[in-house]
Chain A
Amino acid sequence: MNRFEPRIIAFLCNWCSYVAADAAGVARLTQLPNVRVIRVNCSGMVDPSYVMKAFADGADGVLIGGCHPGDCHYISGNIKTLRRSFLLKSLLRELGVEDGRFRLEWIAASEGPRYAKVVNEMVEEIRSLGPYVPPQRRSAKGAA
């Protein structure tokens, strides 16, 4: 059967979300295998350009995982991510990237089950949205 399998890039912070992903694996929680994880030292280092590049290079969704506000290993890195997320989301929307394709989640190191839940939810949501294709490459010409 030819089911659409989304490709999701997940930027996970080294101190919380990545550990949660690890814990989810060790605990043998069921997770859909559509996520490619990129470990970053802090969610605060994920520049909007990285998200843009992921979409430009064929990702169907991007997940940024960070520590809960107040828990950041670097004190305020996740607040920086939070500040960017709303404006980035608006920009992506204007460029034709649906809201559900970009997600920022706070996942603490102990929250393995939550990580698995977020991933599974996101995969299903993007599966229903279909593959991300930049408007320019969408098949039919929109004109006339």
Chain B
Amino acid sequence: MAKKKLAVFTATGCSACENSVLDVHFQISPVTPWADIAFWPYVTGSQWQDLDHVDRIDLCMFAGAVRTAADRKAALKLREKTRIMLAVGACSAFGGMPGLVNLAAVRDEGNSAGADEGIDPALPGTESRVSALSQIVDVDYVVPGCPPPKNLLWSAIQALLCPGECTSRISYAASRLPERISQCITSGILPPKGGTFAGEKAVCASCSRVKEEKKFRSAFRPYAIDPDPGRCLLEQGVLCQGIATREGCGGLCTAAGAPCRGCFGKAEAVYDPGAKMVSAVTSTFDSANADEIEAMSNEFVDLAGTLYRYTMAAQCALPVGPAKDENDAGDVL
């Protein structure tokens, strides 16, 4: 059987997702009988020309948001060659932190994310707004996270690259995946298109902390409080976004006392992550007095940047940022 071809690429991002792929470690070696790395600039130093010698990529792991004209071209080019496009990480899945640039359009009207012109040496021009991969090309599957945990990455690689063939098939990741996807992995067929390799419920479902009556009088930023171990962070006044965020991570951050930052994007049943968090946070205010409530509400700074930290570009119900500009794409690659 012909070996499959794997491509890995990061657009606008920090490459931590690629490190996460490397972190799969000794487990990545069982893949090599089934797949060759055809394109992976970060690790093998591939050039864009190398893609021309490849007929078809079977699995492309695309990390990073689309911020520059070069990113857009890369996304289009890889999509053209690729059978299965996998968005890896929060940036590629929903815009990630680079997506917060879009807020600039609201904060000072007219002075937005800003395309830079006439800079020498010529840099790839920035587009007027940051997009998630799915807003540019068709995406088949998603692995969220910042960066994605390696068990989820590994289950995605197994499910998409060597369904039913890999010798080291695992079940530990499958137990956290939505039932349909885990069934597909264990029976060796491709999961339904559009699937997300993560849980379905909210992070609270896998968080180990005890949740009691949620009431607080004052909100704390994470550095300002040493939270009680074992008690829900939100009820101690820390803005933990677990309640609006998709699970799959196993509640790693909350277990260590850090509030959830929402890197898995919104949970399946949530309409808008910010609105959900507003509802969750305000229901914990221990007051019925309008002035007191207003004062408590004013303690929160940078609401949009906090509640949509990873999801501004793709999951915010009220699209923010300047209109997409078709002329943005320059000739860069």
Contact = CB atoms under 8 A, between A and B. Distances in A.
Contacts of A91: 274-275, 278, 303-304, 307
A3 interface: no
Interface residues of B, number: 50
Contact of B303 (A47, A90, A139, A140): A90
A143 B113 contact: yes
A55 B279 CA distance: 17
B111 A84 contact: no
A52 B275 contact: yes
A94 B115 CA distance: 22
A48 B321 contact: no
A94 B285 contact: no
Nearest to A88: B278
A141 B297 contact: no
A137 B303 contact: no
A120 interface: no
Contact of A49 (B102, B275, B290, B322): B275
A135 B317 contact: no
A13 to B, nearest CB: 17
A143 B114 contact: yes
Contacts of B281: 87
Contact of A144 (B102, B117, B293): B117
A69 B117 CA distance: 56
A95 interface: yes
B297 A95 contact: no
A87 B111 CA distance: 26
A90 B274 CA distance: 11
Interface string A67-99: 001000000100110111011101110111100
B283 A80 contact: yes
Contacts of A140: 323
A38 interface: no
Contacts of B278: 48, 84, 87-88, 91
Q: Counting chain A CB atoms within 10 Å of each CB, which of B105, B281, B287 scores highest?
A: B105
Contact of A95 (B129, B294, B304): B304
Interface in B124-172: 128-129
B212 interface: no
B318 interface: yes
Nearest to B287: A83
What band does the interface of chain A fall in when counting residues whose beta carbon is under 8 Å from B? 35 or more
Q: Counting chain A CB atoms within 10 Å of each CB, which of B110, B304, B323, B324 scores highest?
A: B323
B294 A135 contact: no
A97 B318 contact: yes
A96 B285 CA distance: 25
Interface in B56-100: none
A84 B288 contact: no
Interface in A5-28: none
Contacts of A139: 323
B294 to A, nearest CB: 5
B112 interface: yes
B293 A82 contact: yes
B304 A136 contact: no
Contact of B321 (A82, A135, A144): A135
Contacts of A138: 322-323
A76 B204 CA distance: 26
Interface in B260-304: 270-272, 274-276, 278-279, 281-283, 285, 287-288, 290, 293-294, 297-298, 300, 302-304
Contacts of B316: 95
Nearest to B116: A144
B290 A136 contact: no
A90 B304 CA distance: 9
A56 interface: yes
B317 to A, nearest CB: 4
B319 A143 contact: no
B279 A47 contact: yes
A86 B28 CA distance: 50
B140 to A, nearest CB: 26
Interface of B: 102-103, 105-106, 109-117, 128-129, 270-272, 274-276, 278-279, 281-283, 285, 287-288, 290, 293-294, 297-298, 300, 302-305, 307, 316-325
Q: Closest 7 A-B residue pairs measured CB to CB?
A: A142-B112, A86-B297, A143-B128, A94-B304, A48-B275, A142-B322, A136-B319
